[in-house]
Amino acid sequence: MSEQSLYPVPAEWAKRARVDAEGYDKLYGRSLADPGSFWLEQARRLDWIKRPEIAGDWSFDEADFHIQWFADGKLNVAANCIDRHLAKRADQIALIWEPDDPKAEPRRFTYAELHTEVCRFANVLKAQGVAKGDRVTVYLPMIPEAAFALLACARVGAIHSVVFGGFSPEALAGRITDCDSRIVITADEGRRGGKAVPLKANVDACAAHAPALKQVIVVRATGGAVTMQPGRDVWYHEAAASVSTVCPPEPMGAEDPLFLLYTSGSTGQPKGVLHTSGGYLLWASLTHELAFDYRAGDVWWCAADIGWVTGHSYVIYGPLANGATTLMYEGLPNWPDASRIWEVCDRHQVHTVYTAPTALRALMKDGDEFVTKTSRKSLKLLGTVGEPINPEAWRWYHDIVGEGRCPVIDTWWQTETGGAMIAPLPGATALKPGSATKPMPGVDLQIVDTEGQVLTGATEGNLVIARSWPGQMRTVWGDHDRFFQTYFTTYRGKYFTGDGCRRDEDGYYWITGRVDDVINVSGHRMGTAEVESALVLHPQVAEAAVVGMPHEIKGQGIYAYVTLNAGETPSDDLRRDLVKWVRTEIGPIATPDKLQFAPGLPKTRSGKIMRRILRKIAEGDVSALGDTSTLADPAVVDDLVANRVG
């Protein structure tokens, strides 16, 4: 490692930060040496109806597989995010909403106002018959009502399942059906980058495939025309007019479910990742405070959509549990132009902005002028998440956006982990561009080889986590066995992340990307199996194989190989048709970047598709295809290479 690539902790950070280098070593050491008392002490950061006396109770072994944290504790997550702040911060701004249209007025809600809005929303849910344990699907744009809806669910003990507004009616129907959700909260339309997203129309279109769906609450966001179905659909503002704004929070067990969030895996359809109340909230709150050294009065902006886990943990739960002022932005970072993200920082005097490398790469491409013409003086920290950040984008973020004064906090984590797992602490950790640096307290990382052998020292292999942490997911909705099979059987007794990882001589972790059949498109997870099943649903398609390929802005793009049914002829029209088909089946984020017609796919004699070869061809690395002699028909490779879509 060259000297230049180490960014030491700035002196003022070492002085002012909550945790310095020595403090980190102590904290981390104690978290592993004495987890019981460490976590019970950490649990004090939450407001409990009944304080827990047991911390972690878990086993990753098949015979005794279970995961529980603070199981004898009782609390309400919404009360932790709102009510407990009222004594000190009733008049502090809890939520700032920045609209898509830069000329429109932002909205601000104090903690007292947030309390009123959430209680009102909770009473609307109750009036619609929603009770503890019910699944509530949330298909909303980034508007304040999205925050109210999530917290209202938490208040009444309902389990929210947010579906990203960019997902298609088909994808929405699948998620509603999987968790048997009777009710959907949506809006007339969403608005992003000046364009309307027909959310209510999508709900209408999904209904035929989602027999569980009985009720729809519609928030009026844009005023766009919608068709209301009598007996099923109600306007939120009408329902809200007749309910009280008093709603006592439901006492919940620490292990009662808080939310479900569907995420892609290497096989099958997206799975419902379940998080529970106590451990999840503790993790979101602790990591938000530690990794970002959050201080009272700071304005915090996580630019993720609430459709993703980052939006759950760091737009809503972590910051609000910490009494923060959290900014929610309706639009896109680069609309109307590439200055917008920094203009929003200036307008609201943002202290920390947290976004994805893909956004940074896109902004970087538009040139420094869009950045330098803004002030950015309020910024003190810059965060990133979602995919490995290339050192070039890291340096641009650090040098140009932060003018060298703001540490870059690269946080590695997953939907399954609830919150950040590997991240620098700004007062403790010297930075290396491209490395998420070191584990958070309690995170027991190991790098193993394909046989599961633990590798020590500077090494590279597969990243596993050897013990449970409070923010860990608890199950796959409706399929506990799939939870165990997916995460705990590759390396017995350990949680497998699905990521490859290198550890350097200083003990820094460098995530190298997924080692399973998941692609990371613009920081969003997409299972190759999902795109393949969408393609084979097309009447002219016989078989499909999908792999990731390097993409300058998105990190990874989607490369699809398609074999047509006998008698069908490849054409550019059909290619366009298939790309459109996938967008309609799943959503725009699943759009194949390249689609190659392949008369045959490279298969072993036992019929297994050799993805390694397909990946190489997609990457354009055709000189290093490796051994193809084990293929049933080695000749198919020549055709694939010859017809590669460049």
Cβ of residue 309: shortest distance to ligand 6R9, in angstroms? Answer: 5
Q: Does 412 bind ligand 6R9 (CB under 6 A)?
A: yes
Question: Whole-number minimum distance, CB 308 to ligand 6R9, in Å?
Answer: 6
Residue 20 annotated as part of some ligand binding site: no
Three-state DSSP at 232 gives coil
**Contact present, 196 and 189 (Cβ < 8 Å):** yes
Q: Report the distance separating Cα 13 and Cα 32, nearest Å.
A: 26
Q: Does 309 bind ligand 6R9 (CB under 6 A)?
A: yes
193 and 332 in contact (C-beta within 8 Å)?
yes
Taking the C-alpha atoms of residue 412 and residue 417, their distance in angstroms, rounded to an integer, is 10
Cβ proximity to ligand 6R9, 280 vs 412, nearer residue: 412
- The residue whose two tokens read 């109210």 is 148
109 or 412, CB closer to ligand 6R9?
Answer: 412
Q: Whole-angstrom Cα distance, residue 144 to residue 98?
A: 10
- Of 323 and 548, which CB lies nearer to ligand 6R9 in the complex structure? 548
Q: Is the dihedral of CA 160, 163, 164, 165 positive or negative?
A: negative
Smallest distance, Å, CB 266 to ligand 6R9?
11
Q: What is the DSSP string of 497-538?
A: EEEEEEE-TTS-EEEEEESSSEEEETTEEEEHHHHHHHHHTS
Shortest Å, Cβ 161 to ligand 6R9: 15
Q: In the set 511, 531, 558, 631, which binds ligand 6R9 (CB under 6 A)?
A: 511
Piece of 88-96, 383-391, 395-403, 608-616 that binds ligand 6R9 (CB under 6 A): 383-391
Binding-site member from 436, 445, 476, 535 for ligand 6R9 (CB under 6 A) = 436
612 is in an annotated binding site: no
Dist. CA 240–CA 116, nearest whole Å: 11
Closest approach of ligand 6R9 to the CB of residue 385, in Å: 5
Contact 57, 68 (CB under 8 A): yes
Residues contacting ligand 6R9: total by CB under 6 A: 23
Q: Are strands 74-75 and 252-253 parallel, antiparallel or unpaired?
A: antiparallel
**Per CB under 6 A, 283 contacts ligand 6R9:** no
Burial of residue 432 (number of CB atoms within 10 Å: 0-12, 13-18, 19+): buried
In the complex, least distance from residue 472 CB atom to ligand 6R9, rounded to whole angstroms: 13
Q: Which stretch binds ligand 6R9 (CB under 6 A): 8-16, 22-30, 331-339, 405-413?
A: 405-413
Is 193 labelled as part of a ligand binding site? yes
| Residue 415 found at the interface with ligand 6R9 (CB under 6 A) | yes
Q: Is 514 in the site for ligand 6R9 (CB under 6 A)?
A: yes
**Which CB atom, from 135 or from 525, has the smaller least distance to ligand 6R9?**
525
Q: Does 388 bind ligand 6R9 (CB under 6 A)?
A: yes
Q: Applying CB under 6 A, does 263 fall inside the site for ligand 6R9?
A: yes
- Contact between 164 and ligand 6R9 by CB under 6 A: the answer reads no
Burial readout 290-308 (b: 16 or more C-beta within 10 A, e: otherwise): bbbbbbeebbbbbbbbbbb
Amino acid at 417: T
Please tell me whether residue 441 binds ligand 6R9 under the rule CB under 6 A: no
Under DSSP, is residue 306 helix (H, G, I), strand (E, B) or coil? coil
Binding ligand 6R9 (rule: CB under 6 A), the pick from 69, 262, 413, 469 is 413
Which of the residues 466 through 505 are near ligand 6R9 (CB under 6 A)?
Answer: 497-499
Q: What is the DSSP letter of 590?
A: G
Q: What are the distances in angstroms from CA 612 to CA 609, 623, 646?
A: 9, 13, 18
| AA letter at 289 | E
525 binds ligand 6R9 (CB under 6 A): yes
Asked whether position 322 contacts ligand 6R9 by CB under 6 A, the answer is no
Residues at the interface with ligand 6R9 (CB under 6 A): 263, 308-310, 385-388, 410-415, 436, 497-499, 511, 514, 520, 523, 525
Annotated binding site for CoA: 192-195, 310, 334, 522, 583
